Amino acid sequence: MLASALLMFFLTPLQRFAERVATVAMPYTQNTQNTQNTPEYAAYRKMQVYEAALDDALPGGISEKERSLLNHLRDSLEIAPADAEALERDLQQAVH
């Protein structure tokens, strides 16, 4: 029961965070008739959402809590760990 409560405690903020990032990344997709939701497009959008979250976390360094949230977001978006690591390396290089 305690594990369920802790899970809910961490997943609710994660879900809100993911929704906020998705809205910022592409605010008009729900109202746009021209966008086709192909598997390739869905994968692209997931990477964009994850990239936006990484971009917000990187400047100050990623804390343990942020890393945990990013890992949960990555898992919920079904992004491979290797792809997430490559994206993070690319973003870090772009900052430096």
Joined together, the tokens standing for residue 33 give: 């008739």
Radius of gyration in angstroms for the set of CA atoms belonging to the chain, rounded to a whole number: 15
Of 42, 29, 38, the closest CA to residue 79 belongs to 42
Helices (H), the chain: 2-25, 39-57, 64-76, 81-95
The whole-number pLDDT of residue 31 equals: 47
Q: What is the pTM of this model?
A: 0.64
Of 24, 25, 6, 22, the closest CA to residue 68 belongs to 6
* Domain extent for 24: 2-28+37-95
The whole-number pLDDT of residue 58 equals: 87
Domain count, the chain: 1
Q: How far is CA 50 from the centre of its chain?
A: 3
Per-residue model confidence as pLDDT tens digits over 52-62: 999 988 888 88
